[in-house]
Structure 1
Amino acid sequence: MKKIGLVLLAVIAIILVIAATKPNEFSVSRTATIKAPAAKVYPLVADFRNWPAWSPWERLDPNMKRTLTGAPMGTGAVYAWDGNKDVGAGRMEILSATEPSAVDIKLDFIRPFESASTTRFDFAPAANPADGTQVTWTMKGPMPFVSKLMSVFVSMDSMIGKDFEKGLSQLKAAAEK
């Protein structure tokens, strides 16, 4: 029993040391090419009223309560939500919007856990201009120790990346209609 206890303590200590060496911030980013001009893709992101057409979280709770306040779109637009366990509750505010090249959003989660991060959408001509627009979706935020500990077992990239890929795919479908 004593050996098992010592081994268990050693494993816990190793996990804590690994967690302590994790970065203080996380960053998740995904890119997609959309066969539409940036002027058509940009409003799908800069106007929160358009998010139900493409956001990967919108369909997870058909009864989700949405509140839109502030500016109708672009800088100052605010989107708050309160939903089931799959979507939680939170608030987004567009901090800056440069049409048609970028949108910066402050993202605050309230439930299931409190956190704050920033999200940025960049819209640039695709490598081949005939292919339309390259959209890059990036989220950055602090990594408190609890998040660092979780990241020993599952990374933020693997948790959020799939949703970004799905969202970009749905954004592509909405813009290419």
Structure 2
Amino acid sequence: MYTILIIIAIIILLPLIIALFVSKEYSVEAKIIINKPKHEVYDYLKIVVNQEVYNKWVKTDPDIKKTLTGIDGTIGFIYAWDGKKAGAGEQEITGLTDGERITS
């Protein structure tokens, strides 16, 4: 009986101990090929609201509340959301390299 309790305790505690050492931040990267001129793609993507066209979270959570702060497509623009299915979060444009890169 004592051995079973120790095994159960290990099964419960091991994931909790491992969680202490796992990074709390993560990043996601993806790569696709788009057959459009580079400047056209850049000008479309830097407007954060355009992402709603292909954002699955917005589509699955029709009651999502969105807050837009600043001028879309410029550094400092913040797109914040809060919904039951999507949860809460925000995306901020933190850097723009004209025609090359959008950092958020």
Distance 1:63 1:21 in 2: 36
Larger strand fraction of residues: 1
Partner of 1:116: none
% identical equivalent positions: 34
Structure 1 residue 13 displacement after superposition:
4.2
TM-score (norm 2): 0.77
Which one has more relative contact order, counting CA pairs under 8 Å at least 6 apart? 1
> Please, what is the CA RMSD of the aligned residues?
2.2
Distance 1:51 1:18 in 2: 35
Bigger CA radius of gyration: 2
For 1:1-150, what aligned pairs fall within 5 Å after superposition? 1-23=1-23, 25-83=25-83, 85-105=84-104
- Give the unaligned 5+ runs of structure 2: none
Structure 1 residue 76 displacement after superposition:
1.8
Structure 2 CA distance for partners of 1:14 and 1:63, relative to 1, 3 Å: closer
Alpha-carbon contact 1:44-1:51 (below 8 Å) kept: no
Distance 2:24 2:59 in 1: 32
TM-score (norm 1): 0.50
Distance 1:55 1:104 in 2: 18
